[in-house]
Amino acid sequence: MQLAVFLFCLLGSALALPKARMWTRDESRIIGGSNADIADYPWQLSFQYSGSHICGASIISSDWVLTAAHCVDGMYVNLMSFRAGSSTRGSGGTVLSASTGYMHAYYDSNTIDYDIAVVQVSGSLLGTNAKAVTLPSAGYDPAGGLAVTITGWGLTATNGDLPTTLQKLDISIISRSECQSIFSGINTVTARMVCAGSAGQSVCSGDSGGPLVSGSTQVGIVSWGVSPCEASPGVYGNVGNLRSWITSAAGV
């Protein structure tokens, strides 16, 4: 079985869903969040392309990064880098260049299913305020009501600017059945997805590709939603469901 697509020069494809406009990398936002300290979320990375922040990502080993497939789709590996160990997306910490990577072979840019990718960097990401997140066991599926936290450098208001300081927002998992009813007629919420968020405490993407954690365990990867998103939950790649793929692709 083909498990991964090698990332070097990927064919670009537009993110779109029928009957609703998706937010994209450029529209990532954490609405209602507050400033966070990287020391409390040392796995958080700023995924940069040609030196500019485009997505979030997380440290899963000394030299492997976990992010969303839609963040790397159409991108060149030699222009990717990751900033670790800094609460500020544009300075501090350590910046390492990508050397290779893979996205799931079944990733679908229309349905945003199998929205997962791993990237290897040329050096060690670990250090001061930089450590690997814990990954769940294969098959783990977070239950509705589980308290989770999203972090990233997404917009803090619909028409706002990207913050320079890391943001966080505490939200809860929504059951898959409830989430599917919310997105009925828009997209199918598959077993490779989990939903989190609530009206008035909105996460559009939080920061595409970034980690959704329960404590220090990553249960989700920021994936998709619809615009306007203030009253809708966000949808995340289900790390537990895709855990065996991570091992196959990155050996982690």
Nearest to 5 by CA among 108, 90, 81, 85: 108
Q: Which class for 188: exposed (0-12), middle (13-18), buried (19 or more C-beta within 10 A)?
A: exposed
Contact 72, 13 (CB under 8 A): no
User: How many Cβ atoms from other residues are within 10 Å of residue 123's Cβ?
Assistant: 12
Omega of the bond prior to 228 within 30 degrees of 0, cis?
Answer: yes
Q: Which residue has the tokens 């990207």?
A: 162
Contact 154, 167 (CB under 8 A): yes
DSSP H or E stretch at residue 57 = strand 52-59
Contact 76, 8 (CB under 8 A): yes
DSSP class of 114:
T
Contact 90, 146 (CB under 8 A): no
Catalytic annotation, residues: 70, 115, 208
**Ranges of H-type helices in the chain:** 69-72, 176-182, 243-250
Backbone angles phi, psi at 169, to 5 degrees: -150, 130
